Structures are given as structure tokens and as C-alpha cells.
Amino acid sequence: MDKNALKAVATSVRTLSMDAIQKANSGHPGLPMGMAELGAILYGEVLKHYPKDPGWANRDRFVLSAGHGSMLLYSLLHLSGYELTLDDIRKFRQVGSSTPGHPEYGYTPGVETTTGPLGQGVGNAVGMAIAEEYLAATFNTERKIVDHYTYALAGDGCMMEGVTSEVSSLAGHLKLGKLILFYDSNGITIEGKTSLAFTEDVLDRYDSYGWQTLEGDAYDLDGISRLIEEAKRETSKPTLILLHSTIGKGSPNKAGSHTVHGAPLGDEEILASRKNIGTPEGEDFYIAPVAQEYFAGKQESWYQKYEEWNREFEIWAKENHELKSLWDRFHNGDIGIDDLPEFKEGEALATRSASGKVLLSIAEQLPNFIGGSADLSPSNNTTMPDYGDFGPHNRKGRTLHYGVREHGMGAVANGIHLHGGLRTFTATFLVFCDYMRYSIRLAAMMKLPIIYVFTHDSIFIGEDGPTHQPVEQIASLRIIPNLLVLRPGDAQETAAAWKIAAERTDGPTALILTRQKLTVYPKQDKDWRKTVIRGAYIVKDSEGTPERVIAATGSEVNLALKALEMKEPGVQKSTRIVSMISLERFLAQDDRFRTEILPSGVPVFAVEAGVGFGWTAITGTRDRILSIDRFGESGPGNEVAELFGFTAKALADML
């Protein structure tokens, strides 16, 4: 270890960070300045990485969970040779730059995930560690082609967020020995000292989770190196390394204060800091020549390790033709779904039950498809008994048991996909999607094709009452950009919805499924399987141009068909019923398609067992929406619907 060079790297991290933040007049200098030594050791001595190939399959992963400290990461990426220039650093937090305020996946080479919402990155790291274990168990022979660590850096704020507790508990249970979490313990948050609200013993907490816990000084280079080696020697537990640090270290007047957490230092303090840390007072964005030389000298050794792995991979591929073929399937994005269960007209089953049958078919066709439920797999119908359970003693299991940890489940699922090589799903009751909402939002932002199985989708779940009867959740999911919400009306549509979700590559999909049985109805559009991907299709058409259209989703398609049967023949013949499996996908179509489904000037009625929000986009008026705009009631589902006036007769009376 060249300690002089590492100190020069740390100094350069401090100067780049404080100057970029000052130039932007926005940002968080405290963490980058406080954790510069750790960053120098990680990127210079510890990480197995190759900056010329940021997507190298066997690289170590580093997640900055405390994403507000993004300049730490950007400085290190630039210094170590990733495709991030000094001009990019100068454009920190500017529109269109590759150095946004918080790290964003897909924008900056070397950034593994979008972070900033505290604790999410810890969950992502747990997911990456799960993926590493699964892929290693699947592909390693005597040659280890999957063999890397997952590192993450969290701060006091991450430790306070509940999602961190959820995922850390799970990681300890799963004995993820190749997960190493650094805790920047500086005792400061935005409001002041952490003691205002946070006095627990974090090491004791992580001991109870089943982690190895270590402690050291954030500025002792030898000590940090020893702690990392000790963490690596423990193979049956994840490791938490608590590093005592000073926020804003290097700033003579603001270090150790909450004033340096989330605001530029100011011109005077910048000058004082340069003098204090020994850099040229008149030179901004200073990089120590020793730091540049150090990283220049690292390029060849990194390349040699990278090429060594490539050679090993080539030998492994020649020795293991079937495994190589499987590897290619895992990594080449081939996700065509061709063979799905058939469901007959007139058959009655809950869409959650149909989903369970389809999921097993998907799992058979996609060998890299893993996932699980938040302790609800028997109710969500998401068990995969033929493929085993993932756990400490079976790293090849494809069913994940998340326990009652919805928020953690969402964050972990994002990490599993971000790692590469795997597709994944999660499952819970629809009403609990609120617990995992931020993880869903991040998946949509990062364009991750996570599949969410949300069952028990309305007041029709009955006796569990308003706490478990979702009413606003479907509408709230629809407003998340890039989240595709599919609410199939019967078992056949459920199979089609799964195919859409499984073949999607540019964002997540939520499947909204019933507890109660629904009858498989005849479909007048014989090409409906091709049409449904556009969000809507005609289930029952009128004779000639319709005089009215009923747009329904999920269980309400059956309700609409029953309502129409109550009307006189003339109304029946002049009414079109549309299954609008995805309102937002339909609204995104061109005018021609939309008017083919909903002809101009024809009154549209909408019916859904949830709030009416959003449906005026097709009805034009609230008066033609049959919805539920209040919380539910405990009792048998049909009786609750009668109480609320949400019945086939009520819809028939509207027509």
C-alpha cells in the first residue's frame, strides 16, 4: 500500500468535491470530504474493477447508499480512469450533465444504481449479493467465474431509515458473507447532532441481525485495510464496518458541524480549506500529481486481472458447453415467452390463481427467473416448488422468502436485477404496495423490468375490512411514470398480462389480481392477444356504431357483461364493452387506435372497484364513472359491494 499516494488521492477527492459543489452552488460536501480516505482505498487498493469495461460481469460492486455524497463517487470515478472527465466534474448538478446531484443509473459509467433516498442503496447491495451467490452456485465449477464482493457505504441517515433494518435483517438471515457495508458514523445530520433523535448502539443492532461487526478510524489507512481483510475472512456472515469520521474533514471552520452537510463551503472557507489541506490556494479543481500517477500505474494491473478472468472464462466455456449456453441465456436478454397455460371460456377462477399457473410456466421458460413474496406466497400464488428455496444452505433456490418486509423486498429486487444476469418478481397484497412505493418509483426511474404481483385487489376481498381493501392504490400506481399497470379481467387476460410483463425490458410492470373467482368470457376481438398490449380491446361489440361504450378493468369486465344482460335488447345491441387492461397504456396510443376503441362522440362509461381518479380522461365527466371513493367495510365482499352500490344493477341503471 502506497500511503502517500492514497493520501494524495484523498486530498484530490476533497478538492474536487468542495470545488464542484461550490461552482454548482448546491450539494453536500460533508460526506465526500469526510470519507475521502475510504474512497481512496476502495478504488485504489480493494475493488476488483476495470474502468475501461464498467460492465465487467465479475467486477466488485460498490453502492453509495448515502447518495447525497455523490461527489465522492464522481471524484473517484474520474481519478481512477472511468469515462468521466474533469469537464463533467465541473458541470456537477447541471442540466444534462453526467454528474447529477445524486448518482443515477445509466447516466454515468461506474454508477451501479440510482441512490439518494436513504437506505435504498443498502437494499440494492443486498440484492446484488444475493445475485452473486445464486450465479456463483449456478455457474462455478472448479473454475470460479462468478466471484466478487458487494460493498456499500451508508451514513447515519441510512441507518435511521426503516428499509435499512428490513434488508439488513434479511442479509444476516441469508448469511451473505460477501456483502461488506461501511457505516460513515460522523454523528451529524441536517438538523444537528444525531443524538437529537438517534442514540441506539448500531453495532449491537447488527450483531443481533447476524452480522460480523467491526469498528475503526476513517483516517487510519492501515486500519481500514485490516478491517476489510477481516471482513473477507468471515464467509458466513455479512460485515458491517463502522468508521468513526469527521463530516467535512479538511474544512477548518465547518468540519464536524451540520453546516457542512448540505451546503457549499463558501468562497472564504474554500480558501481556508485549501490552505488547511495543503493544496494551491489559487487553483480550483486541483488534482495532486501523485494521485494521477498512482492511478495511471494501476491501469496495467487492473487490465491483467481483467484479462486473466477473460482467459479463465474462455477455458470454462470450452469445458462446460451446457453451462456456457445457460450463461448466454441468462445474459443475452432472450426472454421470448411462447408457451402459456390455456384457460377455457366459462371457466371460473381468481386471476391470482391463474397467475400462479402462468408464473410456473414463465419460470420453466426463463431459467434465470427468481423471486418471491413478502410472506404471502400461498395467497399470492407465487410458490415455485420445483425450483427450491434460496437460503443459506441452497444458493440455487429460485424462490425468495422475504418475510414481512415489503419495502426491503422492493429495494432488494432492484439490486438483483441491477447486478445483471437475473430477472425477478416480488409479490404482496395490493394494499401493501404503499409500503414499497419508493422502491417501485426507483425501478421505474432506472427502467428495471421488475414484475410486481399485487393480489387481493379490491373491496371484494371482504372480511379483512378497510385496512386490507385497496381503493386508491391502483390509481396511485398509474401515476408513476414508466410503471405499466395491468389489471386483467379473467384468466386468459392474466396469461397475456404475464407475457407482456415478462417480455418488457424498459421498465417495471404491476399485475393487479383478484382474490375472488372470475368467469373467463368470450372475446369478440379474435386478435385480442395482439391488441391487448396496446392497453384495451373489444370484448363485446355493438351491432353497427355503438351508442355507448363501457370501459372496465379486472373483475369489473364481468360486472359490465352482467349489467348489460339486465338491459333491454336494443341497449344490448348498441353497447360496446371494452376491457381496458391498462388505462395509461391506452392513453399513450395514437388517435387512430383510441378512436377505433372509443369512437369520437360516443358516451363512455367507466367502471372500476377503486377510486374514480383518472377515468375522466376517457369519460369526460364524473357522472359516467362507477367507482368506490371511500374506504371499505368489513364483511363478505358481495355484501360490502351492495352497501356501496357497486353492483351490476347500479351500472345498468347508469346506461
Beta bridge partners of 96: none
Q: What is the C-alpha separation between 429 and 558, in angstroms, rounded?
A: 22
Q: What is the C-alpha separation between 167 and 311, in angstroms, rounded?
A: 36
Report the 10 Å Cβ neighbour count for 412: 32
Coil vs helix vs strand at 212: strand
Contact of 114 with 102, CB cutoff 8 Å: yes
The edge-to-edge listing of strands for the beta sheet with 451-455 is: 399-401, 369-373, 423-429, 451-455, 509-512, 484-486
Cell of 161: 431509515
Beta bridge partners of 241: 182, 214
Contact of 58 with 306, CB cutoff 8 Å: no
Q: Please list, residue by residue across 198-223, b when 16 or more beta carbons sit within 10 angstroms of its beta carbon and e when fewer do.
A: eeeebbebbeebbbbbbebebbebee
Contact of 249 with 255, CB cutoff 8 Å: yes
End-to-end CA distance of the chain: 79
The DSSP secondary-structure symbol of 520 reads P
Q: What is the C-alpha separation between 520 and 353, in angstroms, rounded?
A: 13
The yes-or-no answer on residue 268 being catalytic is no
Contact of 510 with 478, CB cutoff 8 Å: no
125 CB contacts (<8 Å, ≥6 apart)? 61, 63, 65, 150, 151, 152, 179, 181, 415
Cα R_g (the chain), whole angstroms: 28
Coil vs helix vs strand at 440: helix
Beta bridge partners of 244: 185, 217
Beta bridge partners of 217: 244
Backbone phi, then psi, for 653, in 5-degree steps?
Answer: -65, -25
Coil vs helix vs strand at 225: helix
Catalytic residue among 112, 133, 161, 406: 406
**Which residue has 415478462 as its cell numbers?**
502
Q: What is the C-alpha separation between 16 and 287, in angstroms, rounded?
A: 7
Q: What is the C-alpha separation between 69 and 67, in angstroms, rounded?
A: 5
Helices and strands: H and E segment counts in the chain? 27, 20
**Which residue has 422502491 as its cell numbers?**
439
Report the 10 Å Cβ neighbour count for 607: 28
Cell of 589: 396510443
**Distance (Å) of CA 24 to CA 20, 29, 64, 93, 125:** 6, 12, 21, 6, 29
Q: Of 573, 454, 565, which is closest to residue 514 (Cα–Cα)? A: 454
Coil vs helix vs strand at 78: helix
Q: What element of type H or E holds 123?
A: helix 120-139
Q: Can you spell out the DSSP letters for 353-422?
A: HHHHHHHHHHHHH-TTEEEEESS-HHHHT---GGG-B-BTTBTT--EEE--S-HHHHHHHHHHHHHHSS-
By DSSP bridging, strand 179-185 and strand 150-155 are: parallel
Q: Which residues are catalytic?
A: 406
